[in-house]
Structure 1
Protein backbone atom coordinates (compact mmCIF):
# COMPACT_ATOMS: atom_id res chain seq x y z
CA UNK A 1 0.00 0.00 0.00
CA UNK A 2 1.36 3.40 -0.99
CA UNK A 3 2.21 5.50 2.04
CA UNK A 4 0.71 8.61 0.44
CA UNK A 5 -2.63 6.89 0.00
CA UNK A 6 -3.09 6.49 3.74
CA UNK A 7 -1.83 9.89 4.84
CA UNK A 8 -5.31 11.28 5.35
CA UNK A 9 -6.91 13.89 7.56
CA UNK A 10 -8.53 10.98 9.40
CA UNK A 11 -6.03 8.57 10.90
CA UNK A 12 -7.04 4.92 10.44
CA UNK A 13 -4.71 2.60 12.33
CA UNK A 14 -5.72 -0.53 10.44
CA UNK A 15 -4.45 1.05 7.23
CA UNK A 16 -1.05 1.39 8.86
CA UNK A 17 -1.05 -2.21 10.05
CA UNK A 18 -1.65 -3.19 6.43
CA UNK A 19 1.10 -0.83 5.29
CA UNK A 20 3.73 -2.26 7.64
CA UNK A 21 2.80 -5.83 6.74
CA UNK A 22 3.00 -5.02 3.05
CA UNK A 23 6.30 -3.21 3.45
CA UNK A 24 7.81 -6.30 5.06
CA UNK A 25 6.91 -8.34 1.99
CA UNK A 26 8.65 -5.90 -0.36
CA UNK A 27 12.09 -6.18 1.21
CA UNK A 28 14.92 -7.27 -1.04
CA UNK A 29 17.66 -9.56 0.30
CA UNK A 30 20.98 -7.91 1.11
CA UNK A 31 23.95 -9.52 -0.66
CA UNK A 32 26.16 -9.68 2.43
CA UNK A 33 28.26 -12.40 0.81
CA UNK A 34 29.72 -9.78 -1.54
CA UNK A 35 31.41 -8.06 1.37
CA UNK A 36 31.69 -4.31 1.89
CA UNK A 37 34.34 -2.22 0.21
CA UNK A 38 34.77 1.48 0.98
CA UNK A 39 37.64 3.87 0.65
CA UNK A 40 39.90 4.25 3.66
CA UNK A 41 38.89 7.86 4.26
CA UNK A 42 35.25 6.82 4.73
CA UNK A 43 35.65 3.59 6.69
CA UNK A 44 36.55 5.00 10.11
CA UNK A 45 34.06 7.91 10.14
CA UNK A 46 31.30 5.63 8.82
CA UNK A 47 31.82 3.02 11.51
CA UNK A 48 31.88 5.59 14.31
CA UNK A 49 28.77 7.30 12.99
CA UNK A 50 26.76 4.12 12.41
CA UNK A 51 27.67 2.84 15.86
CA UNK A 52 25.72 5.72 17.38
CA UNK A 53 22.68 5.21 15.17
CA UNK A 54 22.73 1.46 15.77
CA UNK A 55 22.48 1.95 19.54
CA UNK A 56 19.37 4.07 19.10
CA UNK A 57 17.64 1.53 16.86
CA UNK A 58 18.12 -1.54 19.03
CA UNK A 59 15.69 -0.80 21.88
CA UNK A 60 12.67 -2.95 22.61
CA UNK A 61 10.28 0.01 22.43
CA UNK A 62 8.69 -1.00 25.73
CA UNK A 63 7.85 2.53 26.87
CA UNK A 64 6.34 3.44 23.50
CA UNK A 65 4.35 0.20 23.42
CA UNK A 66 3.02 0.88 26.91
CA UNK A 67 2.00 4.40 25.90
CA UNK A 68 0.28 3.06 22.78
CA UNK A 69 -1.54 0.44 24.86
CA UNK A 70 -3.17 3.19 26.90
CA UNK A 71 -5.02 4.37 23.78
CA UNK A 72 -6.99 1.08 23.88
CA UNK A 73 -6.88 1.06 20.08
CA UNK A 74 -5.90 -2.51 19.18
CA UNK A 75 -5.04 -1.59 15.60
CA UNK A 76 -2.79 1.28 16.68
CA UNK A 77 -1.08 -0.97 19.22
CA UNK A 78 -0.44 -3.50 16.45
CA UNK A 79 0.91 -0.77 14.14
CA UNK A 80 3.31 0.45 16.85
CA UNK A 81 4.53 -3.12 17.36
CA UNK A 82 5.27 -3.40 13.64
CA UNK A 83 7.01 -0.03 13.67
CA UNK A 84 9.26 -1.16 16.54
CA UNK A 85 10.10 -4.35 14.66
CA UNK A 86 11.23 -2.31 11.66
CA UNK A 87 13.46 -0.22 13.92
CA UNK A 88 14.96 -3.39 15.35
CA UNK A 89 15.57 -4.64 11.82
CA UNK A 90 17.46 -1.42 11.10
CA UNK A 91 19.60 -2.12 14.15
CA UNK A 92 20.50 -5.56 12.79
CA UNK A 93 21.27 -4.13 9.34
CA UNK A 94 23.53 -1.45 10.79
CA UNK A 95 25.22 -4.05 13.00
CA UNK A 96 25.93 -6.07 9.87
CA UNK A 97 27.63 -3.08 8.25
CA UNK A 98 29.63 -2.17 11.35
CA UNK A 99 30.90 -5.71 11.84
CA UNK A 100 31.47 -6.09 8.10
CA UNK A 101 33.77 -3.08 8.27
CA UNK A 102 35.66 -4.52 11.21
CA UNK A 103 34.02 -2.37 13.88
CA UNK A 104 32.40 -3.33 17.16
CA UNK A 105 28.97 -2.52 18.54
CA UNK A 106 28.44 0.02 21.29
CA UNK A 107 26.44 -0.85 24.38
CA UNK A 108 25.34 2.74 24.90
CA UNK A 109 25.96 6.31 23.76
CA UNK A 110 25.18 9.61 25.41
CA UNK A 111 23.00 10.79 22.53
CA UNK A 112 20.68 7.79 22.83
CA UNK A 113 20.51 8.22 26.61
CA UNK A 114 19.40 11.85 26.15
CA UNK A 115 16.71 10.95 23.63
CA UNK A 116 15.34 8.17 25.81
CA UNK A 117 15.12 10.60 28.72
CA UNK A 118 13.33 13.22 26.59
CA UNK A 119 10.87 10.69 25.19
CA UNK A 120 9.80 9.58 28.65
CA UNK A 121 9.17 13.03 30.06
CA UNK A 122 5.49 13.07 29.17
CA UNK A 123 2.90 10.98 27.33
CA UNK A 124 2.53 9.39 23.92
CA UNK A 125 2.40 12.59 21.91
CA UNK A 126 5.62 13.90 23.44
CA UNK A 127 7.34 10.59 22.80
CA UNK A 128 6.27 10.63 19.15
CA UNK A 129 7.40 14.23 18.69
CA UNK A 130 10.84 13.38 20.04
CA UNK A 131 10.98 10.24 17.89
CA UNK A 132 10.21 12.36 14.85
CA UNK A 133 13.22 14.57 15.51
CA UNK A 134 15.46 11.57 14.98
CA UNK A 135 13.43 10.02 12.16
CA UNK A 136 13.48 13.20 10.07
CA UNK A 137 17.22 13.70 10.50
CA UNK A 138 17.69 10.01 9.69
CA UNK A 139 16.02 10.55 6.31
CA UNK A 140 18.64 13.16 5.43
CA UNK A 141 21.46 11.12 6.98
CA UNK A 142 20.80 7.86 5.15
CA UNK A 143 20.27 9.64 1.84
CA UNK A 144 23.67 11.31 2.25
CA UNK A 145 25.30 7.95 2.99
CA UNK A 146 23.47 6.24 0.12
CA UNK A 147 24.52 8.89 -2.38
CA UNK A 148 28.05 9.09 -0.99
CA UNK A 149 29.14 5.50 -1.66
CA UNK A 150 29.30 3.13 -4.62
CA UNK A 151 29.32 -0.07 -2.53
CA UNK A 152 26.34 -2.25 -3.49
CA UNK A 153 25.71 -3.63 0.01
CA UNK A 154 25.79 -0.23 1.65
CA UNK A 155 23.53 1.31 -0.96
CA UNK A 156 21.03 -1.55 -0.59
CA UNK A 157 20.90 -1.20 3.19
CA UNK A 158 20.65 2.58 3.15
CA UNK A 159 17.96 2.53 0.45
CA UNK A 160 15.86 0.11 2.48
CA UNK A 161 16.20 2.15 5.66
CA UNK A 162 15.40 5.36 3.77
CA UNK A 163 12.15 3.84 2.51
CA UNK A 164 11.21 2.63 5.98
CA UNK A 165 12.02 5.97 7.60
CA UNK A 166 9.75 7.75 5.15
CA UNK A 167 6.94 5.45 6.21
CA UNK A 168 7.74 5.98 9.90
CA UNK A 169 7.65 9.76 9.60
CA UNK A 170 4.36 9.68 7.72
CA UNK A 171 2.85 7.20 10.20
CA UNK A 172 3.64 9.32 13.25
CA UNK A 173 2.70 12.58 11.51
CA UNK A 174 -0.66 11.16 10.51
CA UNK A 175 -1.46 10.12 14.07
CA UNK A 176 -0.25 13.37 15.64
CA UNK A 177 -1.99 15.53 13.08
CA UNK A 178 -5.36 14.08 14.08
CA UNK A 179 -4.51 14.10 17.78
CA UNK A 180 -3.40 17.75 17.86
CA UNK A 181 -6.33 18.90 15.71
CA UNK A 182 -8.48 18.87 18.85
CA UNK A 183 -6.32 21.54 20.54
CA UNK A 184 -6.79 25.28 20.23
CA UNK A 185 -4.75 27.20 17.63
CA UNK A 186 -2.74 28.84 20.42
CA UNK A 187 -1.89 25.47 21.99
CA UNK A 188 -0.85 24.04 18.62
CA UNK A 189 1.32 27.10 17.90
CA UNK A 190 2.99 26.87 21.31
CA UNK A 191 3.79 23.17 20.90
CA UNK A 192 5.05 23.69 17.36
CA UNK A 193 7.29 26.60 18.37
CA UNK A 194 8.95 24.62 21.15
CA UNK A 195 9.23 21.53 18.97
CA UNK A 196 10.84 23.47 16.12
CA UNK A 197 13.38 25.02 18.49
CA UNK A 198 14.22 21.55 19.86
CA UNK A 199 14.62 20.21 16.32
CA UNK A 200 17.05 22.98 15.45
CA UNK A 201 19.06 22.22 18.57
CA UNK A 202 19.13 18.47 17.83
CA UNK A 203 20.09 19.21 14.22
CA UNK A 204 23.08 21.27 15.36
CA UNK A 205 24.22 18.50 17.69
CA UNK A 206 23.80 15.91 14.92
CA UNK A 207 25.81 17.92 12.40
CA UNK A 208 28.63 18.44 14.87
CA UNK A 209 28.65 14.88 16.21
CA UNK A 210 28.63 13.29 12.73
CA UNK A 211 30.71 15.93 10.96
CA UNK A 212 33.46 13.48 9.99
CA UNK A 213 31.24 11.10 8.03
CA UNK A 214 29.25 13.96 6.50
CA UNK A 215 32.50 15.48 5.28
CA UNK A 216 33.64 12.11 3.95
CA UNK A 217 30.52 11.77 1.77
CA UNK A 218 30.75 15.35 0.54
CA UNK A 219 28.03 16.99 2.64
CA UNK A 220 28.82 20.41 4.14
CA UNK A 221 27.24 21.56 7.42
CA UNK A 222 25.29 24.21 5.52
CA UNK A 223 23.87 21.66 3.08
CA UNK A 224 22.97 19.25 5.86
CA UNK A 225 21.22 22.00 7.82
CA UNK A 226 19.26 23.07 4.75
CA UNK A 227 18.17 19.52 3.96
CA UNK A 228 17.13 18.84 7.56
CA UNK A 229 15.07 22.02 7.79
CA UNK A 230 13.38 21.26 4.48
CA UNK A 231 12.50 17.79 5.71
CA UNK A 232 11.16 19.26 8.95
CA UNK A 233 8.91 21.68 7.08
CA UNK A 234 7.27 18.76 5.26
CA UNK A 235 5.86 17.41 8.53
CA UNK A 236 2.61 19.33 8.46
CA UNK A 237 1.30 18.11 11.80
CA UNK A 238 -0.01 21.46 13.01
CA UNK A 239 -1.56 22.73 9.76
CA UNK A 240 -4.69 21.88 7.84
CA UNK A 241 -2.77 21.31 4.58
Structure 2
Protein backbone atom coordinates (compact mmCIF):
# COMPACT_ATOMS: atom_id res chain seq x y z
CA UNK A 1 0.00 0.00 0.00
CA UNK A 2 1.15 3.51 -0.77
CA UNK A 3 2.64 5.56 2.07
CA UNK A 4 1.36 9.09 2.47
CA UNK A 5 3.79 12.05 2.67
CA UNK A 6 5.12 13.07 6.05
CA UNK A 7 3.76 16.38 7.30
CA UNK A 8 6.04 19.31 6.56
CA UNK A 9 5.97 23.01 7.34
CA UNK A 10 4.78 23.68 3.79
CA UNK A 11 1.91 21.83 2.11
CA UNK A 12 3.04 20.31 -1.18
CA UNK A 13 -0.09 19.40 -3.16
CA UNK A 14 1.90 17.62 -5.84
CA UNK A 15 3.21 15.12 -3.29
CA UNK A 16 -0.31 14.33 -2.20
CA UNK A 17 -1.47 14.02 -5.78
CA UNK A 18 1.29 11.46 -6.34
CA UNK A 19 0.24 9.61 -3.17
CA UNK A 20 -3.40 9.30 -4.28
CA UNK A 21 -2.35 8.23 -7.77
CA UNK A 22 -0.10 5.52 -6.32
CA UNK A 23 -2.74 4.44 -3.82
CA UNK A 24 -5.25 3.96 -6.62
CA UNK A 25 -2.84 1.54 -8.32
CA UNK A 26 -2.11 -0.49 -5.19
CA UNK A 27 -5.57 -1.65 -4.10
CA UNK A 28 -5.45 -5.15 -2.61
CA UNK A 29 -7.39 -8.02 -4.13
CA UNK A 30 -10.70 -8.60 -2.31
CA UNK A 31 -11.81 -12.23 -2.50
CA UNK A 32 -15.49 -11.46 -2.99
CA UNK A 33 -16.20 -14.94 -4.43
CA UNK A 34 -15.49 -16.47 -1.02
CA UNK A 35 -18.69 -14.99 0.30
CA UNK A 36 -19.10 -13.40 3.72
CA UNK A 37 -19.51 -15.47 6.86
CA UNK A 38 -20.36 -13.47 9.99
CA UNK A 39 -21.01 -14.71 13.49
CA UNK A 40 -24.72 -14.69 14.30
CA UNK A 41 -24.41 -12.19 17.14
CA UNK A 42 -22.48 -9.78 14.90
CA UNK A 43 -24.57 -9.84 11.75
CA UNK A 44 -27.51 -7.62 12.70
CA UNK A 45 -25.61 -4.87 14.59
CA UNK A 46 -22.89 -4.78 11.90
CA UNK A 47 -25.45 -4.44 9.13
CA UNK A 48 -27.24 -1.60 10.89
CA UNK A 49 -23.97 0.23 11.51
CA UNK A 50 -22.45 -0.31 8.07
CA UNK A 51 -25.62 0.88 6.38
CA UNK A 52 -25.18 4.26 8.08
CA UNK A 53 -21.49 4.54 7.25
CA UNK A 54 -22.12 3.55 3.63
CA UNK A 55 -24.54 6.44 3.17
CA UNK A 56 -21.92 8.89 4.41
CA UNK A 57 -19.30 7.67 1.91
CA UNK A 58 -21.37 7.91 -1.27
CA UNK A 59 -21.53 11.68 -1.91
CA UNK A 60 -20.29 13.15 -5.17
CA UNK A 61 -18.18 15.82 -3.43
CA UNK A 62 -19.41 18.55 -5.76
CA UNK A 63 -19.65 21.25 -3.09
CA UNK A 64 -16.20 20.40 -1.72
CA UNK A 65 -14.63 20.46 -5.19
CA UNK A 66 -16.19 23.86 -5.87
CA UNK A 67 -14.64 25.20 -2.67
CA UNK A 68 -11.26 23.69 -3.52
CA UNK A 69 -11.38 25.21 -7.02
CA UNK A 70 -11.30 28.65 -5.41
CA UNK A 71 -7.79 27.94 -4.12
CA UNK A 72 -6.61 28.05 -7.75
CA UNK A 73 -4.21 25.21 -6.99
CA UNK A 74 -4.64 22.60 -9.77
CA UNK A 75 -2.59 19.92 -7.98
CA UNK A 76 -4.67 20.31 -4.84
CA UNK A 77 -7.86 20.13 -6.89
CA UNK A 78 -6.67 16.94 -8.58
CA UNK A 79 -5.63 15.39 -5.25
CA UNK A 80 -9.01 16.26 -3.72
CA UNK A 81 -10.81 14.68 -6.66
CA UNK A 82 -8.88 11.44 -6.07
CA UNK A 83 -9.67 11.64 -2.34
CA UNK A 84 -13.36 11.79 -3.22
CA UNK A 85 -12.96 8.80 -5.53
CA UNK A 86 -11.50 6.83 -2.63
CA UNK A 87 -14.48 7.73 -0.49
CA UNK A 88 -16.80 6.59 -3.25
CA UNK A 89 -14.82 3.35 -3.52
CA UNK A 90 -15.39 2.83 0.20
CA UNK A 91 -19.11 3.28 -0.41
CA UNK A 92 -19.01 0.70 -3.22
CA UNK A 93 -17.16 -1.86 -1.07
CA UNK A 94 -19.45 -1.31 1.91
CA UNK A 95 -22.47 -1.72 -0.36
CA UNK A 96 -21.12 -5.09 -1.53
CA UNK A 97 -20.60 -6.15 2.09
CA UNK A 98 -24.12 -5.12 3.06
CA UNK A 99 -25.66 -6.98 0.13
CA UNK A 100 -23.37 -9.96 0.76
CA UNK A 101 -24.72 -10.13 4.30
CA UNK A 102 -28.29 -10.00 3.04
CA UNK A 103 -28.98 -6.38 3.92
CA UNK A 104 -30.46 -3.46 2.03
CA UNK A 105 -28.86 -0.10 1.27
CA UNK A 106 -30.17 3.08 2.84
CA UNK A 107 -30.96 6.05 0.61
CA UNK A 108 -30.36 8.56 3.40
CA UNK A 109 -29.79 8.87 7.15
CA UNK A 110 -30.20 11.78 9.53
CA UNK A 111 -26.57 11.67 10.65
CA UNK A 112 -25.28 12.08 7.09
CA UNK A 113 -27.75 14.89 6.41
CA UNK A 114 -26.54 16.77 9.50
CA UNK A 115 -22.89 16.35 8.47
CA UNK A 116 -23.58 17.67 4.98
CA UNK A 117 -25.48 20.70 6.27
CA UNK A 118 -22.74 21.55 8.78
CA UNK A 119 -20.01 21.24 6.15
CA UNK A 120 -21.76 23.64 3.79
CA UNK A 121 -22.38 26.42 6.29
CA UNK A 122 -18.96 28.09 5.98
CA UNK A 123 -15.85 28.10 3.78
CA UNK A 124 -13.31 25.43 2.83
CA UNK A 125 -11.44 25.41 6.14
CA UNK A 126 -14.57 24.80 8.15
CA UNK A 127 -15.81 22.20 5.68
CA UNK A 128 -12.54 20.31 6.04
CA UNK A 129 -12.71 20.49 9.85
CA UNK A 130 -16.21 19.01 9.82
CA UNK A 131 -15.07 16.35 7.35
CA UNK A 132 -12.09 15.56 9.59
CA UNK A 133 -14.40 14.76 12.49
CA UNK A 134 -15.92 11.92 10.48
CA UNK A 135 -12.51 10.78 9.20
CA UNK A 136 -10.94 10.66 12.67
CA UNK A 137 -13.85 8.70 14.12
CA UNK A 138 -13.67 6.37 11.11
CA UNK A 139 -10.04 5.58 11.97
CA UNK A 140 -11.14 4.13 15.30
CA UNK A 141 -14.31 2.54 13.92
CA UNK A 142 -12.67 0.57 11.11
CA UNK A 143 -9.77 -0.47 13.33
CA UNK A 144 -12.32 -1.93 15.76
CA UNK A 145 -14.11 -3.76 12.94
CA UNK A 146 -10.84 -5.06 11.50
CA UNK A 147 -9.72 -6.38 14.90
CA UNK A 148 -13.14 -7.72 15.88
CA UNK A 149 -14.07 -9.78 12.79
CA UNK A 150 -12.60 -12.96 11.34
CA UNK A 151 -14.09 -13.15 7.84
CA UNK A 152 -11.41 -12.68 5.18
CA UNK A 153 -13.54 -10.40 2.99
CA UNK A 154 -14.56 -8.15 5.86
CA UNK A 155 -11.02 -7.84 7.16
CA UNK A 156 -9.66 -7.08 3.69
CA UNK A 157 -12.20 -4.29 3.18
CA UNK A 158 -11.89 -2.85 6.67
CA UNK A 159 -8.09 -2.95 6.45
CA UNK A 160 -8.08 -1.10 3.13
CA UNK A 161 -10.52 1.54 4.32
CA UNK A 162 -8.50 2.02 7.51
CA UNK A 163 -5.33 2.54 5.47
CA UNK A 164 -7.12 5.09 3.29
CA UNK A 165 -8.62 6.93 6.27
CA UNK A 166 -5.19 7.35 7.84
CA UNK A 167 -4.04 9.01 4.62
CA UNK A 168 -7.17 11.16 4.42
CA UNK A 169 -6.66 12.52 7.93
CA UNK A 170 -3.00 13.31 7.20
CA UNK A 171 -3.96 14.96 3.88
CA UNK A 172 -6.52 17.31 5.37
CA UNK A 173 -4.41 18.08 8.44
CA UNK A 174 -1.44 19.02 6.25
CA UNK A 175 -3.51 21.49 4.25
CA UNK A 176 -5.26 22.95 7.28
CA UNK A 177 -2.01 23.41 9.16
CA UNK A 178 -0.72 25.65 6.40
CA UNK A 179 -3.90 27.73 6.19
CA UNK A 180 -4.23 28.10 9.96
CA UNK A 181 -0.61 29.18 10.26
CA UNK A 182 -1.57 32.42 8.51
CA UNK A 183 -4.11 33.31 11.22
CA UNK A 184 -3.45 35.11 14.48
CA UNK A 185 -2.89 33.01 17.64
CA UNK A 186 -6.23 34.18 19.05
CA UNK A 187 -8.18 33.12 15.97
CA UNK A 188 -6.41 29.75 15.89
CA UNK A 189 -7.25 29.28 19.58
CA UNK A 190 -10.92 30.08 18.99
CA UNK A 191 -11.17 27.73 16.02
CA UNK A 192 -9.30 24.94 17.80
CA UNK A 193 -11.46 25.08 20.92
CA UNK A 194 -14.70 25.35 18.97
CA UNK A 195 -13.66 22.32 16.95
CA UNK A 196 -12.84 20.49 20.17
CA UNK A 197 -16.35 21.01 21.51
CA UNK A 198 -17.95 19.98 18.23
CA UNK A 199 -15.81 16.86 17.97
CA UNK A 200 -16.79 15.73 21.45
CA UNK A 201 -20.48 16.28 20.69
CA UNK A 202 -20.38 14.42 17.38
CA UNK A 203 -18.23 11.63 18.78
CA UNK A 204 -20.68 11.02 21.60
CA UNK A 205 -23.61 10.85 19.17
CA UNK A 206 -21.78 8.44 16.84
CA UNK A 207 -20.81 6.13 19.70
CA UNK A 208 -24.39 6.15 20.97
CA UNK A 209 -25.74 5.38 17.50
CA UNK A 210 -23.25 2.56 16.81
CA UNK A 211 -22.69 1.12 20.29
CA UNK A 212 -24.30 -2.25 19.51
CA UNK A 213 -21.94 -2.83 16.56
CA UNK A 214 -18.96 -1.71 18.61
CA UNK A 215 -19.86 -4.10 21.42
CA UNK A 216 -20.37 -6.89 18.87
CA UNK A 217 -16.72 -6.55 17.79
CA UNK A 218 -15.44 -6.26 21.35
CA UNK A 219 -15.18 -2.50 21.90
CA UNK A 220 -17.03 -0.81 24.75
CA UNK A 221 -18.32 2.77 24.36
CA UNK A 222 -15.81 4.01 26.95
CA UNK A 223 -12.87 2.46 25.11
CA UNK A 224 -14.15 3.85 21.82
CA UNK A 225 -14.41 7.32 23.35
CA UNK A 226 -10.87 7.09 24.73
CA UNK A 227 -9.41 5.95 21.40
CA UNK A 228 -11.35 8.57 19.45
CA UNK A 229 -10.03 11.30 21.73
CA UNK A 230 -6.48 10.02 21.25
CA UNK A 231 -6.89 10.04 17.46
CA UNK A 232 -8.46 13.49 17.66
CA UNK A 233 -5.60 14.85 19.78
CA UNK A 234 -3.14 13.73 17.11
CA UNK A 235 -5.16 15.39 14.34
CA UNK A 236 -5.61 18.57 16.37
CA UNK A 237 -1.89 18.81 17.00
CA UNK A 238 -1.22 18.32 13.28
CA UNK A 239 -3.64 21.09 12.32
CA UNK A 240 -2.71 23.67 14.93
CA UNK A 241 0.92 22.96 15.84
CA UNK A 242 3.15 26.07 15.84
CA UNK A 243 4.99 26.91 12.65
CA UNK A 244 8.72 27.56 12.71
CA UNK A 245 9.50 31.23 12.12
CA UNK A 246 11.93 30.35 9.38
CA UNK A 247 9.08 29.09 7.24
CA UNK A 248 6.70 32.03 7.72
CA UNK A 249 7.55 33.77 4.46
CA UNK A 250 7.36 30.54 2.48
CA UNK A 251 3.98 29.71 4.00
CA UNK A 252 2.60 33.12 3.20
CA UNK A 253 3.21 32.48 -0.49
CA UNK A 254 1.39 29.11 -0.56
CA UNK A 255 -2.27 28.74 -1.60
Alignment TM-score > 0.5, same fold? yes
Kept in 2: contact 1:6–1:16 (CA 8 A)? no
Shift of 1:119: 0.1
Equivalent runs, 1:112-131 vs 2, <5 Å: 112-131=112-131
Please say if 1:189 is aligned against 2:172: no
Encode CA deviations 1:176-224: one digit per residue, 9 max, x unaligned.
0000000011110100000000000011001100011011111111100
Question: Tell me, what secondary structure is at the counterpart of 1:43?
Answer: helix
Q: Distance in 2 between matches of 1:6 and 1:211?
A: 33
Q: Which residue of 1 aligns with 2:247?
A: none
Equivalent runs, 1:38-53 vs 2, <5 Å: 38-53=38-53
Cα RMSD, aligned residues only: 0.9
Give the paired residue count: 240
Shift of 1:240: 2.2
User: Structure 2, unaligned stretches of length 5 or more?
Assistant: 244-255
Q: Which residue of 2 aligns with 1:110?
A: 110
User: Structure 1, unaligned stretches of length 5 or more?
Assistant: none
Encode CA deviations 1:139-180: one digit per residue, 9 max, x unaligned.
000000000011000000000000000000000000000000
Shift of 1:26: 1.3
Q: Distance in 2 between matches of 1:213 and 1:206?
A: 11
Q: Which residue of 1 aligns with 2:3?
A: 2
Q: Which residue of 2 aligns with 1:240?
A: 242
Shift of 1:2: 2.7
Equivalent runs, 1:127-146 vs 2, <5 Å: 127-146=127-146
Encode CA deviations 1:33-57: one digit per residue, 9 max, x unaligned.
0000011110000011000000010
Q: Which residue of 1 aligns with 2:176?
A: 176
What TM-score do the two structures reach when normalised by structure 2? Answer: 0.93
Shift of 1:7: 1.6
Q: Which residue of 2 aligns with 1:81?
A: 81
Q: Distance in 2 between matches of 1:45 and 1:131?
A: 25
Shift of 1:231: 0.1
Q: Which residue of 1 aligns with 2:218?
A: 218
Q: Which residue of 1 aligns with 2:251?
A: none
Q: Distance in 2 between matches of 1:141 and 1:240?
A: 29
Q: Which residue of 1 aligns with 2:16?
A: 16
Q: Distance in 1 between matches of 2:35 and 2:144?
A: 21
Q: Which residue of 1 aligns with 2:153?
A: 153
Q: Distance in 1 between matches of 2:141 and 2:33?
A: 25
Shift of 1:12: 0.7
Q: Distance in 1 between matches of 2:217 and 2:29?
A: 25
What TM-score do the two structures reach when normalised by structure 1? Answer: 0.98
Q: Distance in 2 between matches of 1:54 and 1:228?
A: 20
Shift of 1:66: 0.3
Shift of 1:9: 1.1
